Amino acid sequence: MLDVIKTTLKLGLENPVKILHITDVHICEVSPLDEPWQQELMKERIGVFQREANFPEKTPEEFYREAVAFAKEQGALLVVTGDVYDVHTKGNLKKFKELIRGEDMMYSPGGHEYQYQIVRTLEEPDGYGAKMEKQLKEEIDEFNLDFECRTIGGVNIITANNALDYYPDYTVNKFEETLKNGLPTIVFSHDPLDDKLLNKREAYHENVKITKQEYEISHRMLKELIAKPQVVTTFTGHHHISRDYEIEGKTHYITGGLFKGVCRLIEII
């Protein structure tokens, strides 16, 4: 059974808006076309998540399907903030496509969608980041991975990519453009605002090749998310544990991993 956390945001809307936030599913699928070492890696990773979730009664995929059904039953918009699968295997990609087919949802990737070989994003072979990014955008073309906004019931519901520990220029520009409509805004991303790597101000690994200027732009967005009254709050994942935290008087929310059965039903009223 799902462990549903309930969060209510009071904005004085005429008609309430419901969102189901899910994150960190960590599906570990392989296909016969994947390399033998990937088959081994996925077996090992299934065990990692089973232990982390204390051996739940359902698989990540079963929890995912249950959450999709629950969102429909609730009339809630499904918003997914990444780490849907654990490593970019052919099996996982096929499964991901099967799971999103025909579903109406918003999606922002996590670091694991960019992982190819091993499970520490930043230690992958040189140049993998750009390669994976290109591949992802080609293969999952159902979504704009960097930025999407739906204005529902007078609220901007945004997905903003920060999966590689920074907000790309494109994302920041789109975000700032959207804020011009003056509507209350809720932002969904993978990394929490207080994440250590998201708060770095200079390149910390050769695989994250972004310029000083790009870092400044990313920090501009971070600052706007924290300080602009128009930004009501953010919902993120990544830590696999649910937590609320406060920065400059504003409460932000982290939703635990769906591989543990956790999801968050948000009601904006």
DSSP-assigned states of every residue in 206-244: TTS---HHHHHHHHHHHHHHHH-TTEEEEEE-SSSS-EE
Stretches 12-20, 65-73, 109-117, 212-220: which one binds Fe ion (CB under 5 A)?
109-117
Q: Please report, as residue ranges, which positions from 13 to 32 form the binding site for Fe ion (by CB under 5 A).
A: 24
- Site membership for Fe ion, residue 195 (CB under 5 A): no
- Site membership for Fe ion, residue 260 (CB under 5 A): no
Stretches 45-53, 66-74, 80-88, 117-125: which one binds Fe ion (CB under 5 A)?
80-88
Tell me the residue nearest to Fe ion as measured from the CB: 83
Residue with tokens 């696999």: 240
Q: What are the residues whose beta carbons fall under 8 Å from the beta carbon of 55, sequence distance 6 or more?
A: none
Q: For residues 100 and 232, which CB has a smaller minimum distance to Fe ion in the complex? A: 100
State residue 243 phi and psi, 5-degree precision.
-160, 140
Q: For residues 184 and 235, which CB has a smaller minimum distance to Fe ion in the complex? A: 235
Q: For residues 82 and 184, which CB has a smaller minimum distance to Fe ion in the complex? A: 82
Q: What are the residues whose beta carbons fall under 8 Å from the beta carbon of 82, sequence distance 6 or more?
A: 23, 24, 107, 108, 109, 110, 111, 112, 113, 163, 190, 237, 238
- Site membership for Fe ion, residue 83 (CB under 5 A): yes
Region for residue 106 given its phi and psi (left: phi exceeds 0; alpha: psi -120 to 50; beta: otherwise):
beta
Q: For residues 111 and 256, which CB has a smaller minimum distance to Fe ion in the complex? A: 111
Show the site string, 125-154: x = touches Fe ion by CB under 5 A, - = not: ------------------------------
- Site membership for Fe ion, residue 110 (CB under 5 A): yes
Q: Report, in Å, the least distance between residue 55 CB and Fe ion.
A: 18
- Site membership for Fe ion, residue 60 (CB under 5 A): no
Residue with tokens 């025909």: 102
Can you give the binding site for Fe ion, defined by CB under 5 A? 24, 83, 110-111, 238
